[in-house]
């Protein structure tokens, strides 16, 4: 595929998504958490759909897991950090109890493992978006979330361009044969373009902004490789085909899922929360 063609198809989706995100978080902040929750639930649904191909008996776990995840995110959206909650105990108890209704199946542990992996990978990681949003003022939370999304997706686009145009040395061909070292370097260049947004937060100086971008690109790259590995093992190209150039919602946010916890703990540990 020509470089311009592939990049163009991604930009046609990425630009409207970024523009829509800007409008949402700055003009309709009360809807931001709701939209985040919907995207996470859609991503979890896609994750379960993919695994139905390998564990058909898993089907009965889908709706209980989605309902529980929705309740968990309703709680998470009102706090500013991960705290122990009875919901965690009830969820763990529920997924094991549900297994008791399938006494003849030999896929019990597979269903439990898939359910818990989906919850931790998508809902628990993604819930850090709410914690970030709730830190400081609404304006600070909005700009911080936008900065994270911009760093992740813009670095992904520059990685794609650099890899297509200059890529020669394979990164981890066993996991993703198309990713290259040159593409990874391009990702870091693109990620650093998020520095101006971070400086606009006021609590970041240049040094913190630089390290923050490097951290996020590193984590985003690992997250992208993780999803590539499990899709390759399951023999699927994308988790869905709704978004041209990307695939599904999970394909769109796979790297962001890992970045929001990293961003949250960096901001909290470095005390970059505005007074």
Evaluate if residue 129 carries a pLDDT over 70: yes
Evaluate if residue 53 carries a pLDDT over 90: no
DSSP 111-134: HHHHHHHHIIIIIIHHTHHHHHHH
Counting the structural domains of the chain, the total is: 1
pLDDT digits (tens, 9 = 90+) for 54-108: 555 556 677 888 888 999 999 998 888 887 678 888 888 888 887 777 655 667 7
User: What is the arithmetic mean of pLDDT over 225-240?
Assistant: 78
Main-chain dihedrals φ then ψ at residue 122, nearest 5 degrees: -105, -55
| Residue 31 near residue 23, CB atoms below 8 Å | no
Q: Judge residue 26's burial from the number of C-beta atoms within 10 Å of its C-beta, 0-12 exposed, 13-18 middle, 19 or more buried.
A: middle
Q: Is residue 21 part of a domain?
A: yes
Reduced to 3 states (helix: H, G, I; strand: E, B; else coil), residue 52 is helix
| Residue 233 near residue 180, CB atoms below 8 Å | no
Q: Is residue 274 part of a domain?
A: no
Q: Is residue 275 part of a domain?
A: no
Q: Is residue 138 part of a domain?
A: yes
**What is the structure's pLDDT at 38?**
92
Q: How confident is the model at residue 214 (pLDDT cuts 50, 70, 90)?
A: very high
| Residue 246 near residue 114, CB atoms below 8 Å | no
Expressed as residue numbers, the domain containing 100 is 3-269
H helix or E strand, kind and range, residue 273: none
Q: Is residue 53 part of a domain?
A: yes
């Amino acid at each position: 595929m020509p470089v311009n063609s592939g990049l163009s198809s991604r930009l046609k989706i990425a630009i409207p998504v970024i523009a829509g995100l800007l409008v949402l978080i700055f003009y309709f902040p009360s809807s931001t958490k709701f939209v985040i929750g919907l995207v996470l639930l859609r991503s979890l649904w896609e994750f379960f759909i993919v695994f139905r191909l390998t564990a058909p008996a898993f089907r009965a776990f889908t709706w209980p897991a989605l309902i529980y995840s929705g309740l968990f995110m309703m709680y998470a959206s009102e706090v500013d950090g991960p705290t122990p909650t009875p919901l965690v105990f009830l969820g763990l108890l529920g997924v094991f109890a549900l297994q008791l209704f399938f006494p003849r199946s030999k896929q019990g542990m597979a269903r439990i493992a898939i359910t818990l992996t989906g919850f931790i990978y998508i809902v628990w990681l993604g819930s850090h978006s709410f914690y970030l949003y709730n830190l400081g003022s609404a304006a600070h939370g909005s700009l911080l979330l936008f900065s994270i999304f911009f760093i992740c997706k813009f670095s992904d686009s520059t990685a794609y361009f650099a890899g297509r145009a200059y890529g020669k040395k394979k990164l981890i061909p066993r996991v993703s044969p198309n990713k290259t070292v040159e593409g990874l370097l391009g990702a870091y260049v693109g990620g650093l373009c998020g520095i101006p947004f971070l400086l606009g937060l006021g609590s970041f100086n240049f040094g913190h902004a630089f390290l923050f971008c490097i951290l996020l690109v590193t984590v985003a790259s690992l997250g992208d490789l993780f999803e590539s590995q499990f899709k390759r093992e399951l023999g699927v190209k994308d988790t869905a085909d709704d978004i041209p150039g990307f695939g599904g919602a999970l394909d769109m946010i796979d790297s962001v899922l890992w970045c929001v916890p990293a961003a949250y703990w960096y901001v909290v540990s470095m005390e970059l929360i505005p007074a």
